[in-house]
Amino acid sequence: MKIALVQMEVLEKNKAGNVQKAFDLLRQAAPNCDVAVMPEIWTTGYSLGHLSKEADYLNGTVVNELRQIAAADRCAIVAGSIPLRKGDGNVYNTAITIDKNGEIVFCYSKVHLFSMFNEQRFFSPGNDFNVYGLEETTCASAICYDLRFPELFRHFAMQGAKIIFVPAEWPKIRGGIWDLFIRARALENHTFIVGVNCAGKFHDQKFYGHSAVISPFGEVLAAGGEEEEIVYCDIDLSQIEKANEYMNVLKDVRPELMK
């Protein structure tokens, strides 16, 4: 499976510009990969006070255009995350996965909201953290701060996830932690982690970039720098079986002790 990591620089207070840029990058990546992955909150950036008025809908123009791009180029899209207003009227930080036919496969809304930045004031937390099928592979999605909760990733692994996509807006000041977490989550669960971060600067915050694909052995298979770019990586899913043959960690888990 060939994956494109669309490491995008998000423009401040320019949703239209961000959306157009994202579509252009996706159209560039889609003919060259099986799955294209976007970063977190790429439509608006981390302008939390503006999220309510700039939230999108599942049947809105942004999502519909993403579906058309996926279908036109026969490329699945893990559409990072966007502020999504659901039927209950609340806004969620939601990662939408679209298959190569343009059909919505799964929507994951961020479970762990970042209290340090008062995300609870602007988003409602998600409660659905199931795995889903994409390209005949069991996958899962998490978002940014979720990386600090290893039990979520263990849950996905125990449900059979082979690839976990993690869109993020991770700052440079904590860049070393990003590198550590994405490798640890892959290694401890024998899954591939596809972490796609933002690039550039937003307000006074410099993003780390360094989007990466991590193998089930914790190895960095491909990684970006700090600027906007598209990183491509071919992954061999048989590496999961090889990792489990070497040391089948999940077989030794005792979930009855964790209740």
Is 80 exceeded by the pLDDT of residue 258? no
Q: How confident is the model at residue 255 (pLDDT cuts 50, 70, 90)?
A: confident
Structural Rg of the chain based on CA atoms: 17
Weakest mean pLDDT among 10-14, 105-109, 229-233:
10-14
Q: How confident is the model at residue 79 (pLDDT cuts 50, 70, 90)?
A: very high
Q: How confident is the model at residue 216 (pLDDT cuts 50, 70, 90)?
A: very high
Between the alpha carbon of residue 55 and those of residues 89, 92, 157, the distances in Å are: 11, 9, 31
Q: In residues, how long is the chain?
A: 259
Neighbours of 161 (CB within 10 A): 23
Neighbours of 142 (CB within 10 A): 25
| CATH number, residue 243 | 3.60.110.10
The pTM for the full model equals 0.96
Strands laid side by side in the 192-197 sheet: 132-134, 137-141, 163-168, 192-197, 212-214, 220-223
How many structural domains are present in the chain? 1
**What local confidence, expressed as pLDDT, does residue 98 receive?**
99
Is 90 exceeded by the pLDDT of residue 256? no
Encoding tokens for residue 103?
């059909």
For residue 138, the cross-strand partners are 133
Phi, psi of 219 (to 5 degrees): -90, 145
Q: What is the mean pLDDT of the chain?
A: 95
Q: Which residue has the higher pLDDT, 164 or 252?
A: 164
pLDDT digits (tens, 9 = 90+) for 13-72: 899 999 999 999 999 999 999 999 999 999 998 877 778 889 999 999 999 999 999 999
Q: Which residue has the higher pLDDT, 204 or 140?
A: 140
Q: Which residue has the higher pLDDT, 158 or 12?
A: 158
Encoding tokens for residue 110?
């961020």
pLDDT digits (tens, 9 = 90+) for 190-212: 999 999 999 998 878 899 999 99
Residue 84 lies in domain: 2-258
Is 90 exceeded by the pLDDT of residue 132? yes
**What local confidence, expressed as pLDDT, does residue 40 receive?**
97
Annotated catalytic residues are 40, 110, 144
